[in-house]
A = this chain, B = another copy of it.
Amino acid sequence: MSSEKLVYFFGDGSAEGKASMKALLGGKGANLADMSSLGLPVPPGFTITTEVCDLYYKLGRKYPESLAGQIDANLAKLEQATGKTFGRGPNPLLVSVRSGAAQSMPGMMDTVLNLGLNDETLAAVAKLTGNERFAWDAYRRFLQMFGDVVLGIEHHDFEHALQGVKDKCGVENDTELDVAGLKDVVAEYQKVYDRNGKPFPQDPRAQLDAAIDAVFGSWNNDRAIRYRQMNEIRGLLGTAVNVQTMVFGNMGNDSATGVAFTRDPSTGANAYFYGEYLINAQGEDVVAGIRTPQQITLAGSRAWATANNVGEANRAAKFPSLEEAMPEAFAVLDSIREKLEKHYRDMQDLEFTIEKGKLFMLQTRNGKRTAAAAVKIAVDLAAEGLISEQDAVCRVEPKQLDQLLHPTFDAAAEKAATVLAKGLPASPGAAKGQIVFSAETAEAWKAEGRDSILVRIETSPEDIGGMDAAQGILTARGGMTSHAAVVARGMGKCCVAGCGDARINYHAKTLTFGSTVLKEGDWISLNGSTGTVYQGAVKTVDPELSGPFGTIMELADKYRTLNVRTNADTPADTKVAVRFGAEGIGLCRTEHMFFEGTRIISMRKMILAKNLAEREQALSELLPMQRGDFEGIFRALAGRPATIRLLDPPLHEFLPHEHSGRHEVALQLGISAEEVAAKVNELHEFNPMLGFRGCRLAVIYPEILKMQVRAIIEAALTVQAEGVEVHPEIMIPLVGAVKELAFCNTFAKEAIQEVFAETGKTISYKLGTMIEVPRAAITADEVATEAEFFSFGTNDLTQMTCGFSRDDSGRFLKPYVEDEDKRFYEFDPFQVLDQDGVGKLVKMAAELGRKARPDIKLGICGEHGGDPRSVAFCHQVGLNYVSCSPYRVPIARLAAAQAAIKSK
């Protein structure tokens, strides 16, 4: 289970680990090792592997015996490499202890800085740096962080103590505290420890062990588990722990700390070195969003000043760029930027610290980015020759595209809208919703179907549920790399951050801009691409599909072999899908057509008919309406094929279930309410999912099938006569046995021949079936003798194969998938095709079907058709197409291309 080696050292231009060891060392550890080997200035340190994390849990929160010794050896090595001594001596070694899993989970796990400080080393640091204030400041930061993160003492207790000292000293900001004040703070903090019955360990080795415990322990804290669930991060061993020599960005005005992206993570632009830094600060100050960060480059700084209405003189004086403030360190950083981007062949997210003028690299990783940026960067990198076209296609996460397909504000409406304020364009997109002030309210309103904008002074990891639930996020504080900004970009959620003009009162539930006071429930709109906040709900328009998006789609189409169709029931949906590149309709559900307007009356008349004649009369009323629908769809398809599914749901879905509704139906149809009630009762089923629906309706009432087939063929002939090609594919749903399909086909052909005879015209068509009953999949060789195509209805197929009613499975399916002690299914089988179970049936049916009818057309039309993992599966088993909702068509196109490229 465990490899002998549990700890990997890095530093001084070499490392035991390497970039390819991400699974073992985590992303951070592997890249620190890699940067060390590249000769970049990385403070030396060591990484405790993810295997130790795994063992930690398997052994019941204990470690393998050899670990302590390996840590000792690496500490000794570190002392040698740095010339410092841990917990003693005139030059004490201070370290940071950070988490780092193979996949980035920003902010989810614990970090401890300045570890190694105690009463003794504090004095040495003060003496060595000649900066007593720095030493005491570092100590009080460490005491607070260690108490909070490692010992679990309430953050609030420390804040309260700090505030008390600040009040006593009459200062507002921490930075204004002098040495005496900081000593007071330390004394008060010690009392907090005592009050909590948790003594602060003076022994640095004990500090280190406790911090390592805390980091490994944080792998399974609630928010980390939640984050992995939300981001579908699976199959990791755990987190690694990185113990690294501290460097200090807060040793004075020749020190600084910052984060930077090699390209713009919001737009993907390669215009300048994008990033932020703070002088005389520790890393957490930048991320926390308490001070307004400055830009790395002069160009960036000027752009920022323009956007924020800051005059050039003011900018240069108060917010100079790193390029201006520390030109030498900037030059080193800029050259590292180029080196790393070429090395990793992707946009990098860097963390650095400048200690007394010297630059240190603390992290590099592939930078998180918006969908737009991902697309642009991939296209640009390919154009720059850094990566291939195939690489470019694979660089974009298909699901991310969703962000690009949704509306932006209508330009005129936006122009006309009342601007309330401007903040940072933290995550692009357009959002409108009703103001909420807490994550809980956002989640509750989402459950009620209400659109909300989550308004917070700043966000914290506890808010992620609410951020996910809201349409957009507005914060008063924090920069582009604040928690709100990073998380929102990851979610593809519109976010305006650091909107300083917004005054937020959680208690009164008010959001005030100058004299405008908004209350909870008032509508606002956010433009995440410009940072503008508007009053009211601003009209939105469809997205732009050209530019880099168009290029990546072209590349996708070049490499994919799987066709992509859409599920669409109306001409409008069809048009949207065609714009998104749909190559036809894979599923047109005819039942939705029966609900509109007065049609439902004819439909109910049909259901309540007492005999064939009455039923045929009602059907004859429905015929022209259906025909009209199909004509519109065929025109919108402009020659593309359409698979049309005949009536599928149980008939009781068309009848009202409350008393008043029944009364209305009775009046409309001129029958008694009792008759309506009797029919409702007659149609009641215990398990409607497995009841009288699908082709079972057609078998018992072939006249319904005949009406629908007639409507399809008549519409097809009409549109064909207009010079538009039409390829109707008639799909019989819920078939379980070949004879059932043959029976339905007989009636369908009869209807078609009748129309041909009446009109004297013909058209070619296909008859096929949905494979959604497990029995049909098992006997697909037989079914194929009657079916020219199969469309896998993986929604129902999943319900029946797994025995899960989609409507009822909430009680157990969520824990089945999400609870880490369960994970019976890797993903929700209704979202990601269950390849080991349902997929096995799909594969079997595809093979059996092809064996019986080599030219059979195979597709999938469940919601899985828009899920990238499922699309990859469909490619592997050799289906001809997937079909998905219009907005998922580009996702499916990209996923299909990636599957084709990866399978080579």
Contact = CB atoms under 8 A, between A and B. Distances in A.
Nearest to A812: B696
Interface stretch (A201-209, A260-268, A478-486, A798-806): A798-806
A816 B695 CA distance: 12
Given A687-B689, A812-B696, A737 B825 contact: yes
Interface residues of A, number: 50
A734 interface: yes
Interface in A779-809: 779, 782, 796, 799-805, 807-809
Given A690-B804, A803-B690, A807-B685, A822 B699 contact: yes
A552 interface: no
A700 to B, nearest CB: 6
Contact of A691 (B801, B809, B816, B825): B809
Contacts of A688: 686-687, 805, 808
A47 B834 CA distance: 60
A737 B824 contact: yes
A743 interface: yes
Given A687-B687, A688-B687, A802-B773, A841 B808 contact: no
Contacts of A816: 699, 740
Contacts of A802: 736, 773-775
B840 A778 contact: yes
A526 interface: no
Nearest to A696: B812
A823 interface: yes
A689 B685 CA distance: 12
A246 B218 CA distance: 100
Nearest to A737: B824
A773 B689 CA distance: 15
A689 B689 CA distance: 9
A595 interface: no
A739 interface: yes
A808 B775 contact: no
Given A699-B815, A699-B816, A837-B736, A808 B691 contact: yes
Contacts of A415: none
A448 interface: no
A851 to B, nearest CB: 15
Contacts of A799: 690
Contact of A774 (B737, B801, B809, B823): B801
A803 B775 contact: yes
Contacts of A692: 808-809, 811-812
A884 interface: no
Given A801-B800, A825-B737, A838 B700 contact: no
Contact of A779 (B774, B821, B836): B836
A727 B273 CA distance: 74
A571 B778 CA distance: 40
A61 to B, nearest CB: 19
A688 to B, nearest CB: 7
Contact of A778 (B804, B805, B823, B841): B841
Contact of A773 (B775, B803, B825): B803
Contacts of A809: 690-692
A775 B798 CA distance: 9
A832 B691 CA distance: 20
Contacts of A838: 775
A734 B816 CA distance: 14
Nearest to A689: B687
A736 B825 CA distance: 10
Contact of A687 (B700, B807, B821, B824): B807
Contacts of A782: 836
A800 B774 contact: yes
A784 to B, nearest CB: 14
A736 B803 contact: yes
Contacts of A775: 801-803, 834, 837-838
Contacts of A689: 686-687, 689-690, 805
Nearest to A691: B808
B734 A822 contact: no
A823 B737 CA distance: 10
Interface string A808-836: 11011001100001111100000000101
Contacts of A685: 805, 807-808
Interface string A50-73: 000000000000000000000000
Nearest to A738: B824
A750 to B, nearest CB: 14
A622 B428 CA distance: 59
Contacts of A772: 803
A599 to B, nearest CB: 24
A808 B802 CA distance: 20
B805 A686 contact: yes
A737 B837 contact: yes
Contacts of A808: 685-688, 690-692
Interface in A675-734: 685-692, 696, 699-700, 734
A423 B367 CA distance: 97
A779 B774 CA distance: 14
Contacts of A734: 803
Contacts of A737: 824-825, 837
Interface string A763-777: 000000000111100
14 contacts: A685-B807, A686-B689, A686-B808, A687-B690, A687-B808, A690-B805, A691-B805, A699-B812, A739-B822, A773-B801, A774-B774, A774-B802, A778-B801, A778-B837
Given A699-B815, A736-B824, 17 more contacts: A685-B807, A686-B688, A686-B807, A689-B690, A690-B690, A690-B803, A691-B805, A692-B808, A696-B812, A699-B822, A737-B825, A740-B816, A740-B824, A743-B824, A773-B801, A775-B802, A775-B834
Which 3 residue pairs are nearest across A and B when measured between Cβ atoms?
A690-B805, A687-B805, A775-B837
